[in-house]
């Protein structure tokens, strides 16, 4: 193996518990095991400042980028001022990328979703031009493309989408997280890619519950005999939480309490209010626990514990994941990692990329039917059946979605990008 590399991660944000930040951290952890050193560039960062370059203008929520986005989406004509400000911001950001490379003597860039979903057009343009000008070897890790999201279907920026989301650059290695993305990238852009699924460290199972997390059920207000049905997601429509409510209602077991781990996030409160009303109408006890869950343990202003999501899983009796759409489905992998039974939605990535590997889960086929309810009842009531199911799923996930899979793939693509520029 050649000398370890200085690797620069680039995105609009590396902070919190969004999928891009979490997967980038896993990549960095695996790369570190091969002695590569990772550095971080973004507009919002919670990484070590000594290993990072924070450029506020690179954040998708920066005021300049928000103004630009208002001129680009759900319209088909772009004004001269918007074009000018895209170019000006892109030129500035490109200069910071040169600074980033020089400061940390970077050998390879890993571009996390920044050339994938066009939430920050100037940054995508800046990265594309930087790669063309420097011929620097790079890996583009694509999580969700613009053609997968309804809000990006009408735009006044088709020229930049074609140029940079993603670009066709010979020394840029593309990585996708599911088969559909690989197919679509090839069909739409003529770009070949490597498929690397999202992963967890299945070689190192979770340890026992520590003292900090021991009182999670009490914090939720659960009684000793209650069954914790955990919905480990944000409250957004594509999570299909209404199906979880219907399932709990049809179980007709007053011990079952549905707990949602996260708040609504940045997609509005209307769905959250509908979920509350639906639970009330169906007689389902719903606990919205999002104000007590964050990306790190701490105390709130009232001196109450704030937990991380990993503190909740060990206490769950059943996990619901009835999603309608997912880029991959990290919560599903997490529930399997904590050896918890899961009821999942039959979203496309699950049916095409995950279930065929041998994962066995009660699956929602569009609605909550009698058979699904009976499967859920058996999982809750039959300890031997439940234990066999979760152990089987853990072994399958360990084979196909573990750090060892990621490690082998990263070694291969790093070798590829080295060769492309030699």
Fold topology of 6-199+403-420? Rossmann fold (3.40.50)
Tokens matching residue 259:
């707990």
Q: Which contiguous run of DSSP H or E holds residue 104?
A: helix 80-104
38, 73, 76, 233 from 128: Cα distances, Å = 21, 21, 23, 33
Exposed/middle/buried for 125, CB within 10 Å: 0-12, 13-18, 19+?
Answer: buried
CA distance 179 to 376: 29
Q: What pLDDT is attached to residue 419?
A: 78
pLDDT in tens, 350-390: 999 999 999 999 999 999 999 999 999 999 999 999 999 99
Fold topology of 212-400? Rossmann fold (3.40.50)
- E strand segments, 134-211: 138-141, 172-176, 194-195
What does the domain layout of the chain look like in residue ranges?
6-199+403-420, 212-400
pLDDT in tens, 210-261: 999 999 999 999 999 999 999 999 999 999 999 999 999 999 999 999 999 9
Which segments of 212-300 does DSSP mark as H helices, in order?
216-220, 241-251, 270-281
Exposed/middle/buried for 215, CB within 10 Å: 0-12, 13-18, 19+?
Answer: middle
Any bridge partners for residue 319, and if so which? 230, 342
Q: What pLDDT is attached to residue 268?
A: 65
Q: Which contiguous run of DSSP H or E holds residue 40?
A: strand 37-42
Tokens matching residue 99:
């600074």
CA distance 175 to 196: 7
Could you check whether the bond before residue 166 is cis, i.e. omega within 30 degrees of 0? yes
| Same fold flag, 6-199+403-420 and 212-400 | yes
pLDDT in tens, 22-43: 999 999 999 999 999 999 999 9
pLDDT in tens, 280-305: 999 999 999 999 998 889 999 999 99
Name residues whose C-beta falls within 8 Å of residue 81's C-beta, 6 or more positions apart in sequence: 71
């Amino acid at each position: 193996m050649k000398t370890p590399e200085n690797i620069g991660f680039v995105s609009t944000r590396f902070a919190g518990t969004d999928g891009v930040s979490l997967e980038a951290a896993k990549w960095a952890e695996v790369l570190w095991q091969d002695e590569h050193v990772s550095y971080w560039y973004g507009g919002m960062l919670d990484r070590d400042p000594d290993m990072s370059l924070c450029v506020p203008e690179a954040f998708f929520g920066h005021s300049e980028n928000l103004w630009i986005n208002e001129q680009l989406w759900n319209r088909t004509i772009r004004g001269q001022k918007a074009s000018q400000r895209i170019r000006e911001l892109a030129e500035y950001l490109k200069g910071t990328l040169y600074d980033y490379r020089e400061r940390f003597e970077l050998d390879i860039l890993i571009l996390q979703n920044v050339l994938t979903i066009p939430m920050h057009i100037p940054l995508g343009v800046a990265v594309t031009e930087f790669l063309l000008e420097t011929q620097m070897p790079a890996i583009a890790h694509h999580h969700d493309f613009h053609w997968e999201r309804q809000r990006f279907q009408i735009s006044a920026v088709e020229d930049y989408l074609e140029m940079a989301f993603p670009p066709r650059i010979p020394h840029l290695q593309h990585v996708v997280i599911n088969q559909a993305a690989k197919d679509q990238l090839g069909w739409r852009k003529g770009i070949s890619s490597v498929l690397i699924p999202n992963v967890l460290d299945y070689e190192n199972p979770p340890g026992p519950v520590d003292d900090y997390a021991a009182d999670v059920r009490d914090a939720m207000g659960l009684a000793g005999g209650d069954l914790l049905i955990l919905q480990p997601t944000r409250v957004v429509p594509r999570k299909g939480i209404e199906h979880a409510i219907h399932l709990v209602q049809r179980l007709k077991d007053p011990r079952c309490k549905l707990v949602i781990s996260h708040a609504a996030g940045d997609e509005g409160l209307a769905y959250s209010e509908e979920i509350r009303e639906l639970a009330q109408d169906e007689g389902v006890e719903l606990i919205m626990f999002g104000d007590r869950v964050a990306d790190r343990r701490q105390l709130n202003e009232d001196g109450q514990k704030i937990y991380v999501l990993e503190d909740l899983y060990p206490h769950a009796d059943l996990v619901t994941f009835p999603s309608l759409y997912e880029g991959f489905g990290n919560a599903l992998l997490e529930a399997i990692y904590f050896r918890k039974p899961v009821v999942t939605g039959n979203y496309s990535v699950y049916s095409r990329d995950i279930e065929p590997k041998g994962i066995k889960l009660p699956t929602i086929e569009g609605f909550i039917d009698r058979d699904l309810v009976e499967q859920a009842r058996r999982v809750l009531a039959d300890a031997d059946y439940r234990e066999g199911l979760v152990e089987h799923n853990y072994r399958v996930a360990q084979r196909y979605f573990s750090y060892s899979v990621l490690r082998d793939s990263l070694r291969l693509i790093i070798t590829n990008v080295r060769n492309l520029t030699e």
